[in-house]
Amino acid sequence: MMPFHDAWPWALGCAVVAAVSLLLWSQAAQRAFLVAMAAALVGGVGCLLADWLVVTDREQIEILFPRLAHAAETGDTEAILAALDPTLAPLRSEAELALREFRPEEVRITRLDVTLRGPAAARLARAEMLIHTRGDARGAGGASGPVSALIDLTVDLRKDGGRFLITDFEADAARPMDRRRPE
């Protein structure tokens, strides 16, 4: 586990130690319990502060995809293309084609699992997610229509200069979501 990825368990542990120390101090009135309480409170606040200040690789990826979903909703193609590895022209053209054929009105990521591999300097990652999307699809013949679908998406990333770039993606066939009830 990455340090400071989730400091809440540490902070809660420190709060419990502080509460027990306060209880013991109120019963025994010994200065050592008061010092232990203060140390536990400082430790808990320090953990939360470190968690807030340090952005781990996992958190960086967990922040990236909601930003890309928002960019897709607003039609910000440049923001999406900026997240792709610039050395992979086929990947960029495939993404541009997908963005031309589908104009999403809503993109919700309901599941995001991130797996990290390799040393910190050359970190690789894989993000597997389930996306609910709704929008307008344009076909090859110029016809268009509303679409609502679930997409299983797997994205490979690599860290380059402190940020993650998408190096490949694979989308399983979209499953249509028909909200009408059968009659």
Q: Are residues 49 and 65 in the same domain?
A: no
Say what the pLDDT of residue 176 is.
Answer: 62
Say what the pLDDT of residue 2 is.
Answer: 43
Q: Single out the residue of 16, 81, 57 nearest to residue 162, CA to CA.
A: 57
Q: Are residues 87 and 42 in the same domain?
A: no
Say what the pLDDT of residue 183 is.
Answer: 43
Q: What is the pTM of this model?
A: 0.68
Q: Select the more confidently predicted residue: 113 or 56.
A: 113
Q: Are residues 124 and 98 in the same domain?
A: yes
Say what the pLDDT of residue 181 is.
Answer: 45
Q: Are residues 41 and 67 in the same domain?
A: no
Cα distance between residue 15 and residue 171, in whole Å:
44
Show the domain range for 117.
59-176
pLDDT category of residue 139 using cuts at 50, 70 and 90: low
pLDDT category of residue 175 using cuts at 50, 70 and 90: low
Q: Select the more confidently predicted residue: 8 or 70.
A: 70
Tokens of 11: 């902070």
Q: 73: domain CATH number?
A: 3.10.450.50
Domain boundary among 20, 36, 53: 53
Q: Are residues 22 and 69 in the same domain?
A: no
Report H helices in the chain. 8-28, 31-53, 57-74, 77-82, 89-101
- 106-112: average pLDDT: 90
For the chain, the domain total comes to 2
Phi, psi of 169 (to 5 degrees): -145, 150
Q: Are residues 79 and 20 in the same domain?
A: no
The 10s digit of each residue's pLDDT in 161-174 is: 888 999 988 887 66
Q: Are residues 151 and 101 in the same domain?
A: yes
Q: What is the pLDDT of the chain when averaged over all its residues?
A: 83
Q: Are residues 26 and 43 in the same domain?
A: yes
Domain presence at residue 127: yes
Q: Are residues 113 and 87 in the same domain?
A: yes
Domain presence at residue 183: no
Domain presence at residue 2: no
- 122-126: average pLDDT: 90
